[in-house]
Every structure is written in C-alpha cells, then in structure tokens.
Structure 1
C-alpha cells in the first residue's frame, strides 16, 4: 500500500532521542544510483558495467521561513549532528507526533540554511542543506 507525504518529519538527535527539528515542505531523495564501472572488453558488442560506489548529493529540504526556525538552524551550522527523516506519525493538524512507523532513515552530517528568493504573493521559504558524512541507513525496528 502506498503512503502519502503527509506526516513526514525532519528529525535531529538530542542526547539519546530524536526530536522534530522543524516542519518541512519538501525532502530530497534519500539515496542515489551507484556509479557505473565499465567492464566492456573488445569481445563485447555492448557496454557492460558493475555497480560502484553509490552517489549522493547534498540533502536539500525546503521549509517555511520563520526567524525562530532560521535562528535555531543557524546555531547548528558547522556541527556534526545525527539527523533522520521519519515517515509516519499520529494525530492531526498541529498536534502531530512523529512515530516513524513507515520508516526511519538515519544519517550524520553538517547543516547549513539560507532564505530563498521569492516573488509577488509568495510564501518566504528557506533551504536547509545537510552534507551527509555517513551513509543513509534505514533504522531497524525498535
């Protein structure tokens, strides 16, 4: 059964537990295709490959800009932190509780944040970029 993007959360580990960092509007791919290592020989009539190292770009999240959230994120810049994207939660509207019942994808990295440009009659957004320093792994069930 498919799931919706409703109730997906960007989490940060504080001491031993994860807490919701901020509300997000978009999240990036949590993985990428492996590099292709060519194995073609002069006897092959088509190129052949084996998978190499998995590619992963910077992880960019979009969020509504608020001074409070921006200041909170700016304070984390330059620090190595444990982050996660959790799929699933309980509750409705403003009383959502992240649960990760549909998956928890964890990684370590360094965060940066900046407000993005806008036009007439638009919501002001910010981009949260996390440079991952560990592979993204799906957490095992608790």
Structure 2
C-alpha cells in the first residue's frame, strides 16, 4: 500500500439519510473536529502513591457545520429541524474515509456585514457515534 503524504479537505461531503436514500448538503464550508475525549474516572485508593485514572465514557460535543446559504440547502435543513427527529449523518472525505453519526439537527444564522456571503451553522446534537470507517484501498 502506498503511503499518503496527506489529504486535502477539498471534496469532503456531508450527507444525511431520509426515506428516499442519501442526500448531500450543498455548500458546506467547514466540518468540525470529529470524535471525543473520554472523561477520566478517578480510581485512586488509600494505598495509592499517586492519583490513578481509567478512561470513562466519551462525551460527544455538538457538531457545528458552517454552510453557505443557497436557499434550497437551507430548506432541506429546515425540513429536518421541523421534523424534530434524530437523523443519520455521514461525512465522507475525498479518499473514501467515512464518519457516521446520529443526531438531532438545529441551525443558527451568522451575523451579516456589507459585502459578505450569508451563512448558517447546522448544529447536530449527537446521540450515537461518531464511528470511523477507514478508506478501503
């Protein structure tokens, strides 16, 4: 297998599943960090010379995706938000690596200034995942 020098972010895609299949969200400008640090659980006891910890449960942060407003892309997100249900999401990177997670969407609009593109943030409260699938080569 060839070593990859790195991976350009261009071509990364955010999509979700609905009753008709997988749909891509248009004009995603940024994808947040994926994954979570496990909380640490103190297991120090009276015989311990130093504090001791074990890895606890991971607490996933909300995932915020910056998106350029294009009308239809906002209508799609608005429909998901108004449904009030958790949705299955996938981020696919250009080499085929995938990150799947489930979560309920909401959104908030950016402030606006003169000569600036209108944008909004898709905020997903994660209820399952994220789960990583490496690219298959």
How would you bin the TM-score normalised by the shorter chain? 0.7 to 0.9
2:87 counterpart of 1:81: yes
Offset of 1:18 from its aligned partner? 2.5
Which of 35, 38, 63 aligns to 1:34? It is 38
- Are the equivalent residues in 2 in contact too, given 1:31–1:55 (CA < 8 A)? no
- TM-aligned CA distance change 1:42 to 1:121, over 3 Å: farther
Consecutive unaligned residues of structure 1, counting only runs of 5 or more, are 89-100
Tell me the TM-score normalized by structure 2: 0.82
Aligned length: 129
- Could you say what the CA RMSD is over the residues aligned between the two structures, in angstroms? 2.0
Consecutive unaligned residues of structure 2, counting only runs of 5 or more, are none
2:119 counterpart of 1:113: no
Tell me the TM-score normalized by structure 1: 0.80
Which of 11, 18, 25 aligns to 1:14? It is 18
2:124 counterpart of 1:130: yes
2:79 counterpart of 1:68: no
Offset of 1:17 from its aligned partner? 4.1
- Are the equivalent residues in 1 in contact too, given 2:28–2:65 (CA < 8 A)? yes
1:91 is matched with none
Q: Tell me how far apart the structure 2 counterparts of residues 124 and 75 of structure 1 sit (CA, whole Å).
A: 19
- Are the equivalent residues in 2 in contact too, given 1:28–1:59 (CA < 8 A)? yes
Offset of 1:80 from its aligned partner? 2.3
Q: Tell me how far apart the structure 1 counterparts of residues 101 and 119 of structure 2 sit (CA, whole Å).
A: 24
